[in-house]
Each structure stands twice: as C-alpha cells, then as structure tokens.
Amino acid sequence: MKNVIIIGSGIGGLIAGNLLAKKGHKVTIFEAHSMPGGYTAGFYRKGYYFESGTLSFEASASVFKAMKDIGVFDQIEFSKQRLRLVSEDFDGTPENYDDYKKMIYDGFPSEKEKLDTVFSVLDETVSLMGNVDEPMPFLFSGLDMFKSMLPYIKSAPKQAKLAKQFGNMTSSEFAAQYFAKDSKLFGLFSGFGYPDMPAMFLGSGIAGMFADYWTVKGGMQSWADILAENFRKLGGDLKLNSYVDKIITKNGAAVGVSCKNTVYNADYVISAGDYKKTFLKLLDDQSLVPQELRDNLESAAVSEGFCTVYLGLNMSNQELGQYMKVPHVFTYDHKPGYDIYNSDDEEFFSKTSVSLYSPSMVNPEHAPAGKSSLMLQTIVPYHWMNNWGGGDKEVYTQLKGKAMEAMIDSAARLVPGLKDCIEFKDAATPLTYERFTHNTDGATSAWSWNPKKKFFKNTLSVNIETPAKNLYIGSCWAMQIGGVPGALAAAYQCVKKIN
C-alpha cells in the first residue's frame, strides 16, 4: 500500500483518487475550494443551478470507461448535447458533420467552389478523430493498450502526412488560404473553437461537436459529488477548504505537502492542477527546476479565459425553448473591429459573439417551477483592460458590469424580452476562474491551443513526469490541449506509475 497525496479535486484528481483508493492505496485529496470539481463543478443561487464553467465534454467512450472502472457509471445520467448554430446566414441544429456542411453550403451558395475545396481538405482531417466509440489507448495497459493503439498505428502514415501539411498551421492561416480576412467565412473557419487552434484539428473538431458532445443531466457538480462520495466510501480522505502551500521534497523526491502549517507525508504526490504554479509556486526546492524549464514555464501561453454571465429568469423553460430550440446555442455575429488579441479594446464585449446555455432546459430541476436558468459565455482577450482593472476593485466591478450588460444585449437578440425576465444575474471573469481553480489567467483548457505556442513538443502526448521524483502531474495540464480527455489520460497514467 502506498501513501498518495493528490492536490486538487478536479476531474483528474477525483478519477486518480478513486482508482488508487480502489486498489487499496491510502489516498488524501487536498482541495482549496469548499466543494470538489474544479472547472467541472456547479452551484446554486436563489434556487437556480449553473455550471461553473465546463458545459460539456467529448471522448465519451473514455469517460464512460473510467466511470465503469470506478464503479459509478450507473449513478450518473449522461446526456448527449445538441448544438444550434445561428448567424445572419444560417440557423440550424446539425445532427452530424454532413448536416453542418449542408447548412454552410446553403448559407453561402455563391461560395460553393471555395467551400468544395475547404471541405475536401477538412474531410481528410476528420479521420483524426479515430473511433469515438472506443476509449483512448492511455486508459489501458499491456496487451489491451496495444490492441487499442492498432487503429492509430494503421493510420500513422496518413496522420504523418497531415501533420506535415497542417501541424504548425493555425485555423486563421488555413482560412486565409481561401477567404478574405474580413469575410464571414474567414471568421467562421478561423474562429472555430479556441483562437488560432491547430488547422489539423479543425475538421475533427467540427465533426466532434455533433458526434461526441455530452453533459451530465444532474449538473457537473453532481458528477463531482458522486466521485467524491465514492472516493470516501473507498477509504479516501477528501480535505475541502485545504489549500496546499508547498510540495515538500527531500533528496530530489516529493515526500509530502504543507497545508495550514501542517506537513503531511506521502510516498507520492500528484499535482492535479496548474502545471505552472506546481513548479513556480508550490515546489519547495526551486533548484529542482532546470533553468530552461523555468524559462519555458514563465513564458508559456495558456488557453484563453471565458467571461460567463449567469441569469435566473422569470421565464418558463417552454418559453425559453421557443427561442433557443435546444439547450446550447452558438451565435456567430462578430461585429466590425472584433479582435480577440486586442486587450485594450474597451468595447470588445459589444463586438463579440456569445453562446447561450440553459441548464434548466437540460434538467427542469435546475430552476424554480415556471422559471429557467441561462448562461452566456464568450472567450475574452488575455488581461483585458489592464487585467480587469489592474487590481482596483471599483474599476473591476465597473468593467465586469459593462461586460455583463453587453453580453445580455447580445443574447436578447435571440431571446426577445430577456432583460425584463431577469431575476438574478452575476458574472465570472478569468480572474474569478483563477481564484477558484488556481489556473493561470483562468485558463479553461490548460495550455494554449495555438500550435505556434506549444509547451509540449507533441500535441497529443501525456506528460505526467516532473523533475522531482515521485511527483506527477495528474490534471489536464499534462496534455497540450487539456480538457476532460487530458485530465482522464493523466489520471490513468499516474495510477499506472504508482502501481
């Protein structure tokens, strides 16, 4: 039996904790917040439930395998997401990638020739998704892992060719090959997902939106709570409101952590949180971090943060549904001057598009009877307006309010009468997310998705090893593009190492 300490109870920390506890190890999870979940969490305000940040996840076969391995799959009701896409030129709820293509063709008939070329290229990259019905190879060991890798081995030559062609190309560079930079189609293809994401993943990302996009009917917090309760039943110790201030090392190896002036000893430490802060802030012996790694960590770009508006509405789910059609709606209506890289644009929020998501349309219990809950989200520039006021609370409040009202104005174009129905409203900025998750700049998916700003050389590798012996990274930060799949892969790899 090993004594293992896990820092953070996000999805990676909870899965690693459950798997290790199930194997008989002594496991303690330290969580700085008052509830488990990290980004995969939620909360109630005045009877309305909202997701903290994560609305959906992909790689469902891997998630389902993990839940079955832990023994909680039957306790969680997973729900497939349907996405409505709305702009001046199209409005549809595609069921699959082919439906999406038809919608774009119908919206831009005069661009058929260019679209033929674009989609012929994207069709090739769709195959990079692999088989979405099978778990990632990282979740297996031995012969089972080899078997799960066979499809990837067979497609390696094709993937190598695509990587050579698109591996270092951004979505903006890809779109610029076919469309004028001020055109709607340039904005559509360059603005999909994270800004300047790898062109190599553009086709598979679009297809994945319709093939493999899921949520939890009970809310993300219910998922985290089920995992936390199961962890306790397995003998694990979950310490909430317990911020770890130091990772203790001895002779180059992690031997415990410090929390509230108390040292807790361990054979292994898993940092299931921010990669940067693990080494630049928590590690007690900074001499263990090579200067080159330190320089890379300090300069490495992280994924963009979100601004999220939470609204409690005196509007029934039925009425809201008449306007939204489905619980998750993406609008594409960037105004002239929109620039995700312009942190000094005070009017940014009046130019950006917003997505709308209603937790109560997924589950009516997420709002009081006859009412509904609605979330609005948009990606924001790094450190917008001197990082939201440069530490001045009054300026921060003003900027937050300005952003909130602009996003509500945008959503009201889709939901008439929205403003008159608001009973509760609040917002989270990247600073809010950093405060609650400790992710640098409120990063929503670990490192930057821009292939020119990679921290890890291999975008799809899982990197749990650290300069300190017996210290592993067990969060989405172990993979370049992070997310729930990254957290899953890291958790399983950590468990393999410790066993």
pLDDT digits (tens, 9 = 90+) for 121-146: 999 888 766 666 899 999 999 898 88
Query: What is the rounded CA–CA span in Å between residue 407 and residue 399?
Result: 12
Q: Which amino acid, 413?
A: R
Report pLDDT for 149.
87
**Residue 34 CB coordination number (10 Å):** 8
DSSP class of 278 = I
**In the chain, which residues have pLDDT < 50?**
none
Render the burial of 93-125: b for 16+ CB within 10 Å, e for the rest.
Answer: bbeebeebbebbeebbeebeeebeebbebbeeb
Instruction: Give me the domains of the chain, ranges plus CATH numbers.
Output: 3-76+217-301+455-498 (3.50.50.60), 95-212 (no CATH), 304-437 (3.90.660)
Beta bridge partner(s), residue 239: 30
Report pLDDT for 131.
62
Three-state DSSP class for 471? strand
30, 244 in Cβ contact below 8 A? yes
Q: Which amino acid, 64?
A: F
Q: Which amino acid, 90?
A: F
DSSP for 401-444, please give it: HHHHHHHHHHHHTTSTTTGGGEEEEEEE-HHHHHHHH--GGG-S
Report pLDDT for 129.
61
DSSP H or E stretch at residue 19: helix 11-22
Query: What is the rounded CA–CA span in Å between residue 474 and residue 138?
Result: 13
- Tokens coding 267: 């054979």
Report pLDDT for 128.
64
Distances (CA, A) of 117 to 111, 203, 293, 376: 10, 13, 42, 34
Report pLDDT for 344.
98
Q: Which amino acid, 4?
A: V
399, 355 in Cβ contact below 8 A? no
**Residue 389 CB coordination number (10 Å):** 18
Report pLDDT for 160.
81
Computed from CA positions of residues 85, 104, 80, 215, in that sequence, does the dihedral angle turn out positive or negative?
Answer: negative
Computed from CA positions of residues 33, 34, 37, 43, in that sequence, does the dihedral angle turn out positive or negative?
Answer: negative
Q: Average pLDDT of the chain?
A: 95
Q: Which amino acid, 433?
A: Y
pLDDT digits (tens, 9 = 90+) for 325-384: 999 999 998 889 999 999 999 999 999 999 999 999 999 999 999 999 999 999 999 999
Distances (CA, A) of 484 to 59, 61, 476: 8, 12, 7
Query: What is the rounded CA–CA span in Å between residue 224 and residue 234?
Result: 15
Distances (CA, A) of 320 to 159, 194, 327, 414, 496: 44, 28, 9, 10, 47
**Residue 497 CB coordination number (10 Å):** 14
- Which residue, 205, 179, 182, 181, is CA-closest to 192? 205
DSSP for 280-336, please give it: IIIBS-GGGS-HHHHHHHHH--BPPPEEEEEEEESS-HHHHHHHHSSSEEEEE-PPT
Strands 237-239 and 48-51: unpaired
**Residue 45 CB coordination number (10 Å):** 13
pLDDT digits (tens, 9 = 90+) for 90-131: 999 999 999 999 999 999 999 999 999 999 999 988 876 666
Query: What is the rounded CA–CA span in Å between residue 242 and residue 259?
Result: 7
**Residue 70 CB coordination number (10 Å):** 21
DSSP for 136-203, please give it: -GGG--HHHHHHHHHHHHHTHHHHHHHHHHHTT-BHHHHHHTTS-TTSHHHHHHHSSSSTT-BGGGHH
**Residue 47 CB coordination number (10 Å):** 14
